[in-house]
Amino acid sequence: DETNGWRKYFDEESFIDWYIVQEISKNVDGIWRHSVYMYFNPTDGKLHMGPLWDFDLTLGNCKSAGCDSTNGWRIKSSGYHKRLFEDSNFVAKLKKRWNDKYNEVAALFADNGKVDLLTSSIFASIRSDFLVIMTSCAIIIPLNSRKRIVNFVFIVLKFKGLSFCFKSIKKRALSFASI
Protein backbone atom coordinates (compact mmCIF):
# COMPACT_ATOMS: atom_id res chain seq x y z
CA ASP A 1 0.00 0.00 0.00
CA GLU A 2 1.68 3.21 -1.21
CA THR A 3 -0.17 5.38 1.33
CA ASN A 4 -0.44 3.33 4.51
CA GLY A 5 2.21 0.65 3.92
CA TRP A 6 5.85 0.64 4.94
CA ARG A 7 6.67 3.81 2.93
CA LYS A 8 4.63 5.81 5.40
CA TYR A 9 7.25 5.00 8.07
CA PHE A 10 10.51 4.36 6.18
CA ASP A 11 12.50 6.48 3.75
CA GLU A 12 12.64 4.30 0.65
CA GLU A 13 15.63 6.04 -0.97
CA SER A 14 17.88 5.58 2.06
CA PHE A 15 16.79 1.96 2.35
CA ILE A 16 17.63 1.30 -1.32
CA ASP A 17 21.09 2.84 -0.96
CA TRP A 18 21.69 0.90 2.26
CA TYR A 19 20.55 -2.33 0.61
CA ILE A 20 22.86 -1.92 -2.40
CA VAL A 21 25.93 -1.41 -0.18
CA GLN A 22 25.03 -4.38 2.05
CA GLU A 23 24.34 -6.69 -0.88
CA ILE A 24 27.43 -5.76 -2.90
CA SER A 25 29.65 -6.38 0.11
CA LYS A 26 27.65 -9.46 1.16
CA ASN A 27 27.67 -8.16 4.71
CA VAL A 28 27.05 -10.94 7.21
CA ASP A 29 25.59 -8.42 9.65
CA GLY A 30 23.38 -6.80 7.00
CA ILE A 31 20.45 -9.08 7.83
CA TRP A 32 19.89 -7.14 11.04
CA ARG A 33 21.86 -9.46 13.29
CA HIS A 34 24.19 -6.71 14.46
CA SER A 35 25.25 -3.17 13.69
CA VAL A 36 22.35 -1.98 11.55
CA TYR A 37 21.32 1.56 12.37
CA MET A 38 18.49 3.93 11.57
CA TYR A 39 17.64 7.45 12.57
CA PHE A 40 14.38 9.35 12.77
CA ASN A 41 14.11 12.50 10.66
CA PRO A 42 11.52 14.82 12.21
CA THR A 43 11.27 16.82 8.97
CA ASP A 44 9.66 13.98 7.01
CA GLY A 45 8.60 11.90 10.02
CA LYS A 46 10.31 8.76 8.70
CA LEU A 47 13.04 6.34 9.68
CA HIS A 48 16.14 6.54 7.50
CA MET A 49 18.81 3.87 7.14
CA GLY A 50 22.27 4.72 8.37
CA PRO A 51 24.90 5.33 9.19
CA LEU A 52 26.56 2.39 7.43
CA TRP A 53 28.52 0.43 9.99
CA ASP A 54 30.48 -2.74 10.70
CA PHE A 55 32.09 -4.12 7.57
CA ASP A 56 34.62 -6.49 9.10
CA LEU A 57 32.70 -9.54 7.88
CA THR A 58 32.28 -8.45 4.27
CA LEU A 59 33.95 -8.82 0.89
CA GLY A 60 34.61 -12.52 1.33
CA ASN A 61 36.04 -12.19 4.85
CA CYS A 62 33.56 -14.70 6.27
CA LYS A 63 32.66 -18.20 5.26
CA SER A 64 29.22 -18.39 6.87
CA ALA A 65 26.11 -18.36 4.71
CA GLY A 66 28.10 -18.29 1.47
CA CYS A 67 29.43 -14.80 2.09
CA ASP A 68 32.84 -15.80 0.73
CA SER A 69 31.29 -16.29 -2.71
CA THR A 70 30.26 -13.70 -5.28
CA ASN A 71 27.30 -15.91 -6.20
CA GLY A 72 23.85 -15.56 -4.73
CA TRP A 73 22.18 -13.02 -2.52
CA ARG A 74 22.71 -12.33 1.18
CA ILE A 75 20.17 -9.67 2.09
CA LYS A 76 17.43 -10.15 -0.51
CA SER A 77 16.60 -13.68 0.62
CA SER A 78 16.61 -13.10 4.37
CA GLY A 79 13.97 -12.09 6.88
CA TYR A 80 11.54 -9.36 6.01
CA HIS A 81 13.68 -8.26 3.05
CA LYS A 82 11.91 -10.98 1.07
CA ARG A 83 8.69 -9.02 1.44
CA LEU A 84 10.22 -5.88 -0.06
CA PHE A 85 10.95 -7.81 -3.24
CA GLU A 86 7.26 -8.62 -3.55
CA ASP A 87 6.73 -4.86 -3.99
CA SER A 88 7.16 -4.15 -7.72
CA ASN A 89 7.59 -0.41 -7.12
CA PHE A 90 10.46 -1.06 -4.69
CA VAL A 91 12.14 -3.42 -7.16
CA ALA A 92 11.75 -0.91 -10.03
CA LYS A 93 13.26 1.91 -7.93
CA LEU A 94 16.10 -0.36 -6.77
CA LYS A 95 16.94 -1.31 -10.37
CA LYS A 96 16.84 2.33 -11.46
CA ARG A 97 19.11 3.44 -8.62
CA TRP A 98 21.60 0.64 -9.37
CA ASN A 99 21.63 1.50 -13.07
CA ASP A 100 22.12 5.20 -12.25
CA LYS A 101 25.08 4.45 -9.94
CA TYR A 102 26.74 1.43 -11.56
CA ASN A 103 29.36 3.28 -13.65
CA GLU A 104 30.31 5.49 -10.71
CA VAL A 105 30.73 2.49 -8.39
CA ALA A 106 32.61 0.41 -10.97
CA ALA A 107 35.04 3.30 -11.57
CA LEU A 108 36.00 3.22 -7.88
CA PHE A 109 37.29 -0.34 -8.29
CA ALA A 110 38.81 -0.02 -11.77
CA ASP A 111 42.58 -0.35 -12.19
CA ASN A 112 44.12 2.89 -10.84
CA GLY A 113 40.70 3.96 -9.60
CA LYS A 114 40.00 5.66 -6.29
CA VAL A 115 40.35 2.45 -4.26
CA ASP A 116 43.81 1.74 -5.71
CA LEU A 117 44.91 5.33 -5.07
CA LEU A 118 43.68 5.33 -1.46
CA THR A 119 45.18 1.91 -0.80
CA SER A 120 48.54 3.07 -2.14
CA SER A 121 48.48 6.22 -0.02
CA ILE A 122 47.99 4.34 3.27
CA PHE A 123 49.92 1.17 2.40
CA ALA A 124 53.15 2.23 4.19
CA SER A 125 51.29 3.05 7.42
CA ILE A 126 49.36 -0.21 7.43
CA ARG A 127 52.54 -2.16 6.68
CA SER A 128 54.30 -0.45 9.63
CA ASP A 129 51.44 -1.34 11.96
CA PHE A 130 51.65 -4.98 10.95
CA LEU A 131 55.43 -4.99 11.39
CA VAL A 132 54.99 -3.73 14.96
CA ILE A 133 52.46 -6.47 15.63
CA MET A 134 54.69 -9.09 14.05
CA THR A 135 57.67 -7.86 16.12
CA SER A 136 55.91 -9.19 19.19
CA CYS A 137 56.40 -12.64 17.63
CA ALA A 138 60.19 -12.11 17.36
CA ILE A 139 61.10 -15.19 19.36
CA ILE A 140 59.03 -17.45 17.13
CA ILE A 141 59.44 -15.90 13.66
CA PRO A 142 62.78 -14.45 12.42
CA LEU A 143 62.70 -10.83 11.16
CA ASN A 144 63.22 -11.59 7.46
CA SER A 145 60.41 -14.13 7.56
CA ARG A 146 58.13 -11.66 9.34
CA LYS A 147 58.72 -9.05 6.62
CA ARG A 148 57.98 -11.57 3.89
CA ILE A 149 54.82 -12.66 5.73
CA VAL A 150 53.65 -9.06 6.11
CA ASN A 151 54.25 -8.28 2.43
CA PHE A 152 52.50 -11.46 1.37
CA VAL A 153 49.51 -10.80 3.67
CA PHE A 154 49.11 -7.29 2.24
CA ILE A 155 49.21 -8.47 -1.33
CA VAL A 156 46.68 -11.22 -0.65
CA LEU A 157 44.32 -9.02 1.36
CA LYS A 158 44.42 -6.15 -1.10
CA PHE A 159 43.73 -8.25 -4.13
CA LYS A 160 41.35 -10.69 -2.46
CA GLY A 161 39.13 -7.91 -1.12
CA LEU A 162 39.20 -5.74 -4.22
CA SER A 163 38.84 -8.68 -6.56
CA PHE A 164 35.87 -10.00 -4.58
CA CYS A 165 34.26 -6.56 -4.51
CA PHE A 166 34.71 -5.93 -8.21
CA LYS A 167 33.43 -9.42 -9.08
CA SER A 168 30.45 -8.76 -6.81
CA ILE A 169 29.72 -5.44 -8.48
CA LYS A 170 29.84 -6.99 -11.94
CA LYS A 171 27.69 -9.97 -10.93
CA ARG A 172 25.20 -7.73 -9.13
CA ALA A 173 24.94 -5.47 -12.17
CA LEU A 174 23.82 -8.44 -14.20
CA SER A 175 21.72 -9.92 -11.40
CA PHE A 176 19.83 -6.74 -10.52
CA ALA A 177 18.24 -6.88 -13.93
CA SER A 178 16.68 -10.21 -12.94
CA ILE A 179 15.35 -9.22 -9.50
Name the pTM for this structure.
0.70
Could you report the per-residue pLDDT of 40-62, keeping only the tens digit for each? Answer: 999 999 999 988 888 777 777 77
Could you report the per-residue pLDDT of 152-177, keeping only the tens digit for each? Answer: 455 445 555 555 565 666 665 555 55
CB 161 within 8 Å of CB 60: yes
Could you report the per-residue pLDDT of 89-117, keeping only the tens digit for each? Answer: 999 999 899 888 888 877 777 777 777 77
Read off the pLDDT band of 139 (50, 70, 90).
very low
